[in-house]
Amino acid sequence: MLQGPVADVIPSTDEFEMYPVGLTSLAAYLERNSYNVRIVNLAYRMLNDAHFDPERSVTRLTSRVFGIDLHWLPHANGALALAKLIKRVHPDAQVLMGGLSSTYYHEELIRYPFVDLVLRGDSTEEPCRQLLHALRSGASLDTVENLTWKRGDGSVVVNPTSFIPDNLDYVDVPDYRYVLRSVFKYRSLRDMVPYLEWLRYPSTMILNARGCTLDCAICGGSASAYALFCNRSRPAFRSPEKLIQDIRTIRSFTGSPIFMVHDPRMGGDARADDFFDLLSKERLSNEFVFELFYPADTAFFEMVQRSVPAWSLQVTIETQDERLRENNGKFVCSNEEVEQTLAQALSHGCRKLDMFFMVGVPDQSAASAMQIIDYCEHLVLRFKADPCLHFFVAPLGPFLDPGSRAFEDPKLGYKHLHTTLEEHRQALLEPSWRDVLSNESDVMNRDEIVETSYALADQLNELKFRNGLIGPAAHELVAGHLKAAHEAIAVMGLSSQPHQSRQAAALAALQGELAAANTGSMNDEDEMKWQPSGGIHLSLTLLRGLGSGFIHELVQTGRRLEGRYDGAVCTPSAPGHGPPALPMFPSIEKDVPAPPSALSVEAP
Ligand code: B12
Ligand code: SF4
């Protein structure tokens, strides 16, 4: 199938094999409460080994509950196929789904006969424990927070979304210690690998918050999206102290780059100051990668430069058109302010500055999208072809995020080609990404999105090569992949609807071209990478951590044998729990006081 360039700017392949980081915190929380939890990344296993048999592997697993993530909508077909398979081979087990897409589509999802339970919300650690406790003790599921479930007669029950923690300190997310422990516990590193290239090029992340203060029109993780389907009125932040602990854990096993999800200033300037202050006291060798959601000044970059030995930046402005940026809601400022920010970053030691643009933002015509090239050329001239500056462009796809303003509000000008979960699942079976795309707008249809994306990729490749920003090998690689994409499109026609049987034969003959067309047709994937790291290493801290993990495991096994579960429960302490409402969608929280700690941990 021609998957297209929809995964060219993320670490995973076009199969989207990555699992949500929160699975590690979910697993760790449940293990703290004595439940055995094993993560298996089937997608990675299948990509890594052509002989791997997922059915056999799943059949061999024994569990009363199988959790499947349907967090990202591009997983709709795979996640549902897996749910069906599990129900077939383990008819007595419960099939549980979770993640942002599951939350949005919970009522449709629960109606599939092979789905028993859906846990909704952005934080499911404690609801999942409540669920396991109820299943184990035979108690009613009525009180399990955030749960959608079916009664014996098939009627659907939607329990309230009441577990909405107001900070992220009650769990470690990601919980790398759980990952390391399970490698030993289940004697399998392969099950836990997040994406195909990870062992060769590991990168790690820390999560600033669940939720976002911005409200970008195309984002299903925006402030209004979380309010709509996660019942969240403000993000749950992770405290600077906890972020530093996460960084120490990462440092104990790798010198790889650490990507901080979300602008470090998102929880207010004071929180960012505290974080960088603490960071400056750590003796780190890892490179840091930060995102910016709005312009930054000299003081910010001085702080970053003081705090870390090496750092890079990701700046996603989506479009050069200031009006379109205002419509979308990120980098709502002039191009001059964007460029001042770039200049400051580069003069304060930023090693690699990645700028991201998109084809398909609201009200963007094909002509406007093509002007991205003119703007990149302007930046190349202004910054004298600075080799630290990298440009990337990607189409909005494969789907418009459900829950985003662009999805929910017809005024933003999108025409939905698939709306329900089942329609999205069916679309994923189409042979060409053109037909997978879920949206076209009043000003750009799907054919134009495909053509414009490839035309932009071609011109950007030439621009980078002409100005010495990429070498001949990268230039040729991208050009080759683009040629393969054009050949595949020529065989299929832009639309894959007519002549499907003829196409199937022609496509079978095109396997090599398709493989090339599905990777790195917008850019050379190596251009995305930060400085090479030393891979995984063993440190004293890591060994100590593994040692205490081993003791912890022995204690938990003892508890399980005695039937003592649920000994480390986190419950919101305040009645009417959940974060206090903020005025809706402040663009950035300036100096928001640290959220009160609303979660308490009961001693085991
Ligand atoms: C960080 C991030 C990434 C990281 C991935 C990090 C990771 N491994 O989790 C990167 C940059 C790699 C990424 C990639 C993509 N992303 Co992204 N990403 C985000 C971002 C900015 C934050 C995510 C976050 O806060 N997670 C925290 C919470 C919500 O999830 P969590 O802790 O991992 O898991 C908890 C719950 O979700 C739930 N849960 C999850 N799975 C399961 C399973 C079960 C059984 C249960 C019970 C519960 C459960 O419980 C967990 C523990 O409490 C959001 C935007 C946002 N503000 O939300 C977009 C977002 C999630 N991404 C999105 C998209 C579309 C993608 C891509 C498909 C983009 C693309 N075309 O390439 C890819 C897919 C990658 C893949 N699978 O290979 C959309 C999803 C919309 C949708 N409904 O499909 C979002 C909402 C916005 C966006 N457009 O970027 N992403
Ligand atoms: S900044 Fe915009 S795109 Fe990024 S998570 Fe927040 S709302 Fe989504």
Query: What is the overall mean pLDDT for the chain?
Result: 89
* Most confident listed range (417-426, 542-551, 580-589): 417-426
CA–CA distance, 550 with 181 (Å, rounded to integer): 8
Residues 463-469 have a mean pLDDT of 96
Atom of ligand 2 nearest to the CA of 220: 8
Contact 65, 132 (CB under 8 A): yes
Atom of ligand 2 nearest to the CA of 222: 7
22 lines ligand 1 (CB under 6 A): yes
The string of DSSP letters for 466-484 reads: HTTSS-HHHHHHHHHHHHH
Say which residue, 440 or 591, is predicted with more confidence.
Answer: 440
221 lines ligand 1 (CB under 6 A): yes
Q: What does the pLDDT read at residue 102?
A: 98
Q: What does the pLDDT read at residue 551?
A: 86
**Ligand 2 mean position to 585 CA, how many Å?**
12
Residues 591-595 have a mean pLDDT of 36
Q: Which of 216, 180, 598 is nearest to 405 (CA)?
A: 216
Q: What does the pLDDT read at residue 600?
A: 28
Q: Which residues pair with 311 in a beta bridge?
A: 288
Phi then psi dihedrals of residue 261, to 5 deg: -75, 130
pLDDT, tens digit, for every residue of 34-56? Answer: 999 999 999 999 999 999 999 99
Q: What does the pLDDT read at residue 572?
A: 55
Please check the confidence at residue 505 and state whether its pLDDT lies above 50. Answer: yes
Residue 504 pLDDT level (bands cut at 50, 70, 90): low
Q: Which of 275, 230, 253 is nearest to 123 (CA)?
A: 230
pLDDT, tens digit, for every residue of 116-144? Answer: 999 999 999 999 999 999 999 999 999 99
Does an H or E element contain 67, and which? Answer: strand 65-69
Largest interatomic CA distance in the chain: 70
Contact 127, 162 (CB under 8 A): no
216 lines ligand 2 (CB under 6 A): yes
pLDDT, tens digit, for every residue of 407-448? Answer: 999 999 999 999 999 999 999 999 889 999 999 988 999 999
Domain ranges within the chain, ordered by starting residue: 22-168+542-603
Residue 72 pLDDT level (bands cut at 50, 70, 90): very high
Residue 200 pLDDT level (bands cut at 50, 70, 90): confident
Residues 378-403 have a mean pLDDT of 96
Q: What does the pLDDT read at residue 500?
A: 56
- AA letter at 227: A
Residue bearing the CA closest to ligand 1, atom 14: 10
Please check the confidence at residue 496 and state whether its pLDDT lies above 60. Answer: no
- AA letter at 329: G
Residues 476-504 have a mean pLDDT of 73
Strands (E), 126-191: 147-150, 156-158
Atom of ligand 2 nearest to the CA of 329: 2
CA–CA distance, 335 with 524 (Å, rounded to integer): 27
Atom of ligand 2 nearest to the CA of 330: 2
Contact 250, 289 (CB under 8 A): no
Q: What does the DSSP 8-state code read for residue 457?
A: H
103 lines ligand 1 (CB under 6 A): no
Q: What does the pLDDT read at residue 493?
A: 65
Q: What does the pLDDT read at residue 573?
A: 44
CA–CA distance, 482 with 520 (Å, rounded to integer): 9
Residues 587-591 have a mean pLDDT of 42
**Ligand 2 mean position to 20 CA, how many Å?**
17
pLDDT, tens digit, for every residue of 80-116? Answer: 999 999 999 999 999 999 999 999 999 999 999 999 9
Contact 4, 433 (CB under 8 A): yes
**Ligand 1 mean position to 313 CA, how many Å?**
20
What ligand has the least distance to the C-alpha of 588?
2
Q: Which of 9, 583, 26 is nearest to 316 (CA)?
A: 9
CA–CA distance, 332 with 325 (Å, rounded to integer): 6
pLDDT, tens digit, for every residue of 335-373? Answer: 999 999 999 999 999 999 999 999 999 999 999 999 999
402 lines ligand 1 (CB under 6 A): yes
25 lines ligand 1 (CB under 6 A): yes
Residue 197 pLDDT level (bands cut at 50, 70, 90): confident
